[in-house]
Amino acid sequence: MPIDLRSDTITRPTPAMREAMAAAEVGDDVFGDDPTVAKLEARVAELLGKEAAMFTPSGTMANQLALRVHTEPGDEVVLDANAHIYYYEAGAPAALAGVTCRCLPGLRGIFTAAELEAALRPADQHFPPTKLVCLENTHNRGGGRIWPQELVREIGILTRERGIQLHLDGARLWNAAVASGISERELAAEFDSVAVCFSKGLGAPVGSALCGSRQFIQRARRFRKMFGGGMRQAGIIAAGALHALEHHRQRLAVDHVNARTLADGLSVLPGIELDPASVETNIVIARVTKVPAERLARELDQAGLRVLATGPDTIRAVTSLAVTSEEIPRVIGVFQDALNKSSAS
């Protein structure tokens, strides 16, 4: 059985989660009749300190619904150039919300309030009005980096002063909370809307949630239906998400320890450049110096280890519920063997 570090999305339901899903009470969620979905939505809203929440099939849909609710076609959204919303969501901001994206060159996904303020356009008919700023915590392409809370507060003050909405792509907010010791509620406090995911580190098979005010969620439900995200007896999958939420959040600390152990081991290998201190949660991004990253990924795959080449010279490995602490030394050994083989060829 290969060790799969491509993403934390590869996790599979535990036996206890499958039992919860099989026993789930269900109804037609489009009519608002699914009690398990309602329970999940209430719990997520409570955890994040928001008035309401809505279950969605995916994190991409949750993010894109937020853009559609907060903006009108022709508006501008400001975000980091490597943000998932911009980089990995198939051009959806333009296709679904009709907005333009103003991308900031953040440092591993992080930018300051001063940098944001400098990018905001003056009120002028020649420019698209800036209606929304999006942050991502933890930041995927930033290597699982956690947003410093003081920077988030400063950006929140600025956006409120300017009358701009603030959205959080919190797909891995659970990781940020466990690693920082700051509650999800506090991490979400500055934001008008928050998207969170259940199918990554928490290990549910499917699902995300979008949170905000009651008025915001009421409007989002219409667009969810428009986007094809209205689900019927969705309690079966909501039960998996609810189980994950209640039983798998604190174990994320294990993934963080495994990622740091992996980073420590990889950092001393010839042909790898990696600062272990940059690993804050469960994502390890290493620079490969002696062989193209795609080639190394193929050789690792042939040896029973799956990782992703995220650039010509970068490899990403993500720890999760699917990877045990005992497997990390084996991962380091497979890397070492593949690098030695590449150097000799």
Cβ 243 vs Cβ 204: under 8 Å:
yes
What is the predicted pLDDT for the residue at 1?
Answer: 80
Domains of the chain, first to last:
11-247 (3.40.640.10), 251-344 (3.90.1150.10)
CB contact set of 13 (below 8 Å; sequence gap of 6+) = 21, 203, 204, 205, 240
What is the predicted pLDDT for the residue at 341?
Answer: 83
The model carries a pTM of 0.96
What is the predicted pLDDT for the residue at 345?
Answer: 60
As a whole number of angstroms, the distance between CA 222 and CA 61 comes to 13
What is the predicted pLDDT for the residue at 40?
Answer: 98
What is the predicted pLDDT for the residue at 344?
Answer: 62
Confidence of residue 29 (pLDDT cuts 50, 70, 90): very high
Residues above pLDDT 90, as percent of the chain: 97
Query: pLDDT per residue over 108-118, tens digit each?
Result: 999 999 999 99
Cβ 22 vs Cβ 341: under 8 Å:
no
